Amino acid sequence: MLVVALAIGFGLSWYAVTDGRLVGAAQIGPWTAWPRAGSPEPDPYTKAYLARSGALQLGQGEGMQFIATADSDGTPLNRNCRYRIDGTTPTATFWTLVPTAPDGSTIARPDGPPGFNSARIARANDGSVQLYVSKTLAPLNWLEVTGDGPFWLVFNLYDTTVFSGVSSNDATLPSIIREAC
Amino acid sequence: MVRTVLYVFGGVLLGLVIHLVVILLLPGLASNNVATRLAALGQVNKVVTLDPVQPGAANPLRLDPEMSYAICRLDLTKGPGELTGTLPVSFWSVSVYDRSGAVLYSTTNRDGIGQSLDVGVFDAAQTRLLAEQKIDVDAGLLIVETKSDDIFVVVKLEPPQPATRDRYSAQLGKLACRPLKT
The per-residue pLDDT for range A104-128, each reduced to its tens digit, is 888 888 888 888 998 888 888 888 8
Q: Within an 8 Å CB–CB cutoff, is residue A55 touching chain B?
A: yes
Residues of chain A contacting residue B71, judged by C-beta atoms under 8 Å apart: none
The nearest alpha carbon in chain A to B147 belongs to A40
Q: Whole domain around residue A139: which residue ranges?
A: 2-180
Closest by Cβ to B58, choosing from A13, A103, A114: A103
Q: Note the pLDDT of residue A166.
A: 57
The ipTM value here is 0.83
Tell how far CA A134 is from the center of its chain: 17
Confidence at A153, pLDDT banded by 50, 70, 90: very high
pTM for the predicted model, two decimal places:
0.87
Domain count, chain A: 1
The verdict on a CB contact (< 8 Å) between B62 and A17 is: no
Q: Cβ(B68)–Cβ(B55) under 8 Å?
A: no
Say yes or no to pLDDT of A170 above 60.
Answer: no
Which pairing describes strands A141-144 and A129-134: parallel, antiparallel, or unpaired?
A: parallel
Among candidates B30, B5, B17, B28, which has minimal Cα distance to A12? B17
The verdict on a CB contact (< 8 Å) between B8 and A4 is: yes
Low-confidence ranges of chain B (pLDDT < 70): 111-112, 182
The verdict on a CB contact (< 8 Å) between A17 and B160 is: no
**Measured between CA atoms, how close is B97 to chain A, in angstroms?**
9
pLDDT single digits (tens) A50-83: 888 888 888 888 888 999 998 888 889 999 999 9
| % of chain A with per-residue pLDDT over 70 | 96
Q: Note the pLDDT of residue A168.
A: 52
Say yes or no to pLDDT of A28 above 80.
Answer: yes
**Measured between CA atoms, how close is B181 to chain A, in angstroms?**
27
Tell how far CA A93 is from the center of its chain: 18
Among candidates A113, A117, A115, which has minimal Cα distance to A95? A117
Q: How far apart are the first and last CA of chain B?
A: 74
Q: Within an 8 Å CB–CB cutoff, is residue A104 touching chain B?
A: yes
Q: Note the pLDDT of residue A39.
A: 83
Domain holding A26: CATH number? Answer: 2.60.120.600
Q: Within an 8 Å CB–CB cutoff, is residue A144 touching chain B?
A: no
Tell how far CA B74 is from the center of its chain: 10
- Indicate the angle between helix axes A44-53 and A2-18, nearest 10 degrees: 80
Where do runs of H (alpha helix) occur along A19-132?
Answer: 44-53
Residue B134: CB atoms within 10 A of its CB come to 10
